[in-house]
Amino acid sequence: MSDDFNLPQGVVRNSLGGAGGVAGSVVQAGTIHGGLHLHAPGLPTPRQLPRCPKRLIGRADDLAALDRSLAAEEGATMDVTVVVTGPAGVGKTALAAQWLRGLAGRFPDGQLYADLRGYAPGGPADPAEALGAFLRAFGITPVPGSLEEATALWRSLAADRRIAVLLDNASTAAQVRPLLPGSDHAVVVVTSRRRLTGLGIDGAVFRPLGLLAREASTEILAERVGERRVADESAAAAEVVDACAGLPLAICLAAARIAARPVQSLAVTAEVLGRGTERLATLNVEGETVQDLLDASCEVLDADAARLYGLLGLLPFAEFTLEVAAVVADVDLIAADHLLDGLIDVHLLEEVGPGRFHFHDLVRLHARAYGARLRDASTGCAAADRIVDWYLASATAAEAIVSPSHRTLARDYCGRSVHPAREFEDDAQALGWLDQERDRLADVLRWSAERGRNAAAWQLADAMWPLFLRLRPARLWVEAHRVGLRAARADGDRLGELRMLTSGGNGLRNAGESAEAAQWFTEALDLARELAHPLAQADALYGLSQTHRVAGRLDEAADCLRQVVHLRESEDYVRGSALARLAYGEVLLTADRAVEAVGPIERAYHELSSIRDDYEAARAMAFLGLAHGRLGAFGRAEACIEEALTGFRARLSVHWEARTLEFAGDVEEWRGRPAAARTRFEQSLARYQEVGAAAEAARLAGRLAAYGVDSAVTPRPGDAGG
């Protein structure tokens, strides 16, 4: 066979010249010359900039200054980072968004947005979160688990794209740097309350944004409440403008309150704004406060909308869906949508996407204070319990579809809810929801433990198993099970403790913490024996076998697996015994005993296929391909590997797709086809990097180095595992 993989008759081998590149999808065509960009099918060009006023009053000089920061000729190299700084509420985001929207034609490949939450109650956002969102916007999912790998992938992705990026509410220069695309064709605008002078060494230019002039503030007020009304009550209007002190957020909030009460005198609002009532210290901005303005905005809400505002302030996250709002308010989706419209109308909430809403960090602080009176009251406690129950039930529904054999432990809900859990049609939809909601699931898990709902905390960690198994977010896997283990012990649930030890042990092993993983598995084995639980003993022994295998203790690993097979067969657990046989076959392959490995692997494949566990059957097929390749049966090996790859791609298992591609490279090496082996290893490395599998990526980089390939991999142990 040639390096062309024996292309079938009629199939044209593509070649790309110049700056061509393929990421994700594949185009079948003749020879292609010049630049080529491929986007994942169905994904629109990202246009993520937040909404802003159609006319930005009082900012002409600032917009002109931003224009001067760009190259004079359209189409010229841009590569500029502009830092817009100023006090909270001064309109930094509006200015940046307005400017970038006006230049939309210069960014045909997209305009991206990230709120870095520099001053949010929970602390600044991890840059990895924003990187993940950027990569997913271009169809890259799942994303690497380590910040270094995600940054490298982001810069590679952005290298030839003409894009604009708005990084909002930054806290420090260090938070921003990983998000800079490093492209000759990108414009980045960073907004912050701090000066971020450290970005000067990165070549950034700075534009401080000051308060509005009195005339501009008056013009904004007149535009929003009516020129005639302002003219008729000019003295009161002047008091309103003075009270807002040139802060655009304050002016907009005051105008919203006035507009909502067309028959009320402006003097009433002026009086409210002039009151020296108690204010939240965290809402003090450069000596001015918006506390009274936010309170005044809440006053125009009807009782149900005001109640929802306070309840949303209790949530442990700033962004949420329409479904979550409905659960919090204990109403249906139509009613929830109506209530949210009321909050948006008075600028207490913003819609950031279809069915997704977000609190500005200042407004969220106010909402938290507004809802403080509900926190320990029955209304607030009931709303919090509904949210915990809904996320637990929805994650459990996803678990039941993706990992039905894992869905064995009880779930403790506080009460019967009128809000059913999310329903999922298939594995891909369920896993997609878990991935999309992973940050909020983590927040709810921590929140449950903090609120004393220990059963819900460990059960949520248990329900997130498909996310951990398939997408392998190593740090979250470990953290969730550390919290879950403490919660299970506090709850006095021995079976929950046992599950946290075994599932968490797997997470620790995959994160490179083998010693601690072995400790967790040993504790699990002791507890399982104490509880006379044979299947739990088997799970603990299985975990220990994997730590032995990784450490090179193959005899100990094989001994553990023989015990696992015996225990599971005695309990008629077909799937479990099949998985143990598969692991035993892997140990034999590692020991270079391929002839002995084929039997247990083939049996495992047939048993897993008989119970329609397609994911694990695909794993068995991958190992079978490796075994046949080691024995020189290259045709059978290639067929097995292709079948396994098809299975993993259908189930979004990028990690196992990567590992199977590595197996394919091994087979090509044994076959004496170095060019084909190199191609397979490059494919494997790319997929490992997507899921942040640092150890595996480093291993592949080493293998590719032997082929003269510089993969530029910087592994960071503990970010992900095998």
Residue 279: its pLDDT value, please? Answer: 31
For residues 43 and 18, which has the higher predicted lDDT (pLDDT)?
43
Residue 638: per-residue pLDDT: 95
Q: What is the pLDDT of residue 493?
A: 96
Helix 438-450 / helix 427-436 crossing angle, nearest 10 deg = 60
Per-residue confidence band for 70, with pLDDT thresholds at 50, 70 and 90 = confident
Q: Give CA separation, 626 vs 620, 648, 680, in Å.
A: 10, 16, 14
Beta strands in 147-204 (DSSP E): 163-170, 186-192
pLDDT exceeds 70 at position 712:
no
Query: In the predicted model, what is the mean pLDDT of residues 98-118?
Result: 90
pLDDT 10s digits, 526-581 = 999 999 999 999 999 999 999 999 889 999 999 999 999 999 999 999 999 999 99
Query: Residue 621 is encoded by which pair of tokens?
Result: 């097929």
pLDDT tens digits for 470-498?
Answer: 888 889 999 999 999 999 999 999 999 99
- Rounded to an integer, the average pLDDT of 131-139 is 91
* Amino acid 18: pLDDT: 52
In this predicted structure, the answer to whether residue 37 has a pLDDT above a threshold of 50 is no
Question: Is 303 exposed, middle or buried, given 0-12, 13-18 or 19+ CB atoms closer than 10 A?
Answer: exposed
Q: Which range, of 11-15, 40-44, 470-474, 687-691, averages the lowest pLDDT? A: 11-15
Does the structure show a pLDDT above 60 at 721?
no
Write the pLDDT tens digit of every residue in 583-639.
Answer: 999 999 999 999 999 999 999 999 999 999 999 999 999 999 999 999 999 999 999
DSSP state of 471: I
**Is the preceding omega at residue 600 within 30 degrees of 0, hence cis?**
no
Closest CA to 390 of 404, 411, 371: 411
Judged against a pLDDT cut of 50, whether residue 109 lies above it is answered with yes
478 token code pair: 């470990």
Q: Which residue has the higher pLDDT, 21 or 537?
A: 537
Which pLDDT does position 415 carry in this prediction? 72
Q: Is it the case that residue 715 has pLDDT exceeding 50?
A: no
Q: What is the 3-state secondary structure (H, E, C) of 220-260?
A: HHHHHHCHHHHHHCHHHHHHHHHHHCCCHHHHHHHHHHHHC
pLDDT, residue 85, reads 85
Q: How far is CA 582 from CA 39, 285, 667, in A?
A: 38, 62, 19
- pLDDT value of position 267: 85
Residues 652, 470: contact at Cβ < 8 Å?
yes
Q: What is the pLDDT of residue 12?
A: 46
Q: Are 189 and 166 in contact (CB under 8 A)?
A: yes
Q: Which residue has the higher pLDDT, 272 or 261?
A: 261
**Better-scored residue on pLDDT, 212 or 487:** 487
Under DSSP, the state recorded for 112 is: E
Lowest mean pLDDT, pick from 270-279, 321-330, 421-430: 270-279
The larger pLDDT score, comparing residue 653 to residue 540, is at: 540
Apex CA 328: angle with CA 322 and CA 329, to 5°? 90
Residue 160 banded pLDDT, cuts 50, 70, 90:
confident
